[in-house]
Structure 1
Amino acid sequence: MQSSARDAVIAIQGGQTRSEEGVEQVNNASTTLRRITSAVEAIRDMNRQIATAAEEQTSVAEGITHNLVEIKAIASNNQDNVKRTQEASNNLSGLSIGLNDVISRLST
């Protein structure tokens, strides 16, 4: 009977040890899961920041494209104005030469 009681005590102690080890493993798993959850939340926040930055970059790129289109239109308009100014200058030069001829004839 003593041997059976001793065996029972040993079995109970072994069961208690295994239970304690199981509790420790569950606690470790819980801690690990909390760390994983925190890491996933941090990654999700980073993804949001990346998405926001990408949207901002897209908006800036669209603004730059719009500004470049406007600059091109202004440059084209300026080029047209330069041509008109050159034509007007040539006309004035011709008129000046003609006026000089008239003055020369009148002076002689």
Structure 2
Amino acid sequence: MEKGREQAQQSVERASQAGVSLQSITTTLNSINDMNTQIAYAAKEQSSVAEEINRNITLLNTLAEGNAAKVTQSSSSTSQLATMADNLQSMIKRFNIS
């Protein structure tokens, strides 16, 4: 009878320890779940920021191409103006005032 009571007491203690261990495991799993949620949120935020950076780089590229075209156009216009100025200079040299 005494041996049965000791075994029952040991079983109760083991069950109590198992309960404490399960509670600790549950707490740890909840913590891991919270961290996974935070990681997923941070990854989503990083993805959004990366997409925004990509859009901005694309816009900058478009603007740079537009600026390059305008610089080429300005260079051409400047060259034409220089030619016209040379022609005008030649015409003025031929013009004689009597």
Q: What TM bracket, shorter-length normalisation? A: over 0.9
Aligned partner of 2:75 in structure 1 is: 86
Alpha-carbon separation, structure 2, partners of 1:105 and 1:44: 91
Aligned length, in residue pairs: 97
Matched residue, 2:8: 19
Amino acid corresponding to residue 71 of structure 1 in structure 2: L
State the TM-score, normalized to the length of structure 2. 0.96
The structural deviation recorded for 1:68 is: 0.8
Amino acid at match of 2:35: M
Output the aligned Cα RMSD. Answer: 1.0
Scaled by the length of structure 1, the TM-score of the pair is 0.87
4+ residue runs over 2 A deviation: none
Residue by residue, what CA displacement relative to the aligned partner does 1:53-108 show, whole Å, maximum 9, x if unpaired? Answer: 01001100110110011001000000000000000000000011001101111148
- Percent same amino acid at aligned positions? 32
Q: Helix, strand or coil: the match of 1:16?
A: helix
Q: Given the alignment, which residue of 50, 64, 88 partners 2:39?
A: 50
In structure 2, stretches of 5+ residues that fail to align are none
* 1:59 paired to 2:48: yes
